[in-house]
Structure 1
Amino acid sequence: MLSEKMDVELNRQINAEMFSSYLYLSMSGWLESKGLTGFAIWMRAQAKEETFHAEKIYTYVHERGGRVILEAIDKPESEWDSPLHIFREALKHEEMISGMINDLVDLAIKEKDHASNNFLQWFIAEQVEEEANVGNVVDRLALIGDDSAGLFALDMEMAKRTFTEEEA
């Protein structure tokens, strides 16, 4: 059984994951409008992954006898200066999400909630991967700079990303 505090905080995380999905859809829309279809595809896959994360927590809350109460999702940004700006913002966002997951683990440890601690370890590993993936794109975009041929090549590579639950 989840404590009331853990239930509240897991619900807060569901909202944060849904906002992440919404943010990445917004980023995808901006990228698409700039003709960067590959980057847009990458961001749409990322949005799907964030929805999967929210649903994973949703299921866990119910399995542990908690109650999911969905709140409004904040409006995401919709304007950026460049793909590099978008991916730097995405990296900052992923670092914030990592902090939230770490806080959940701290709460689970404090409450001696071993089941939640175990459940959350998957998210700890996932956030390491998320930050590394986005950070890699930031580094590559920074290297490319204003080279349109480099941007085109990276855009083509980014289009290959797909999302499946088995990979998440």
Structure 2
Amino acid sequence: MLHKEVARLLNEQINKELYSAYLYLEISNYYQEKNLAGFQNWYFVQAQEERDHAMLFMTYLQNNSESVTLDTIKAPNTSFSDLKDPLNAAMAHEQYVTKLINNIYDAAFQEKDYRTMQFLDWFIKEQGEEEKNADDLCKKYDLFGSDAKGLYLLDAELGARVYTAPSLVL
């Protein structure tokens, strides 16, 4: 049985991950409206990943005989003034999610909940990748975004991203 505080934080993380999916769907829609199908695709795939992260947290709680409580997911409150704004918003959001995961890990550590810590190890590694990807996108946009040909090629590169289900074994 999980410690109550650890279970509460894990349960909250389900909704945070679902919010992340909503945010990335909003960014995907923004780029669709700007006729950047590659950017749209990249964030659509990102939304799928975040949804899967929520499912992993849910399954972990269920596998540990904990109840899952789904809460309201607020619509993202965003307005973007240029093509770079969503990239910056995604970077800031990934840094926020990293802090959330670290807080859960810290709570598990305080309770000597090694099983949950091991489960969270995958998410800690994943967040490192998520932050690097977000940072790389910002940097690539800074390099190529002001040049129409460069933006076209970057959009084509992002359009090649395909969804891959997470490989975490529960």
1:83, distance to aligned residue in structure 2 (A): 2.6
TM superposition shift of 1:44: 0.3
Q: Does 72-81 or 10-19 show the bigger shift?
A: 72-81
Correspondence list, 1:131-150, <5 A: 131-150=131-150
Q: Match of 2:155, as an amino acid?
A: D
Q: Distance in 1 between matches of 2:136 and 2:8?
A: 34
Name 2:159's counterpart in structure 1. 159
Secondary structure of the structure 2 residue equivalent to 1:83: coil
Q: Cα RMSD (Å) of the superposition?
A: 1.2
**Shift, 1:146, TM fit:** 1.8
Deviation at residue 78 of structure 1 after TM alignment: 4.5
Letter in 2 for 1:21: A
SS in 2 for 1:67: coil
User: In the alignment, which residue of structure 1 is the partner of 2:29?
Assistant: 29
Query: 2-side partners of 1:167 and 1:62: how far apart?
Result: 18
- TM-score, normalised to structure 2, is 0.95
* 2:28/2:41 contact within 8 Å kept: yes
Q: Is the 8 A contact 2:41 2:159 kept in 1?
A: yes
Paired letter, 2:163: F
Question: In structure 2, do the counterparts of structure 1 residues 150 and 77 end up closer, same or farther at CA, with 3 Å as the change threshold?
Answer: farther
Q: 1:79 Cα shift?
A: 2.6
Give the TM-score normalised by the residue count of structure 1: 0.96
Is the CA contact (8 Å cut-off) linking 2:39 and 2:155 kept in structure 1?
Answer: yes
Unaligned runs of 5+ in 1: none
Tell me if the contact between 1:84 and 1:138 (Cα under 8 Å) persists in the aligned partners.
Answer: yes
Partner Cα separation in structure 1 for residue 27 and residue 93 of structure 2: 12
Aligned equivalents of 2:84, 2:27: Cα separation in 1: 12
SS at match of 1:35: coil
- Summarize deviations over 1:56-98 as a string: whole Å, max 9, x none: 0000001111111000001113431223111111000000000
Moved more, 81-90 or 67-76: 81-90
* Other structure's SS at 1:134 match: helix
Matches of 1:145 and 1:30 in 2, distance apart?
A: 16
Q: Structure 1 73/127 Cα, relative in aligned 2: closer, same or farther at 3 Å?
A: same
Mark the runs of 5 or more structure 2 residues left unpaired by the alignment.
Answer: none
Match of 1:83 in 2: 83
Q: Distance in 1 between matches of 2:140 and 2:164?
A: 25
List, as ranges, runs of 4+ consecutive aligned residues in structure 1 with deviation greater than 4 Å: none
Aligned residue type for 1:114: Y
* 1:95 to 2:95 alignment: yes
- State the 1:143 CA deviation: 1.2
Q: State the Cα distance separating 1:167 from its structure 2 match.
A: 6.1
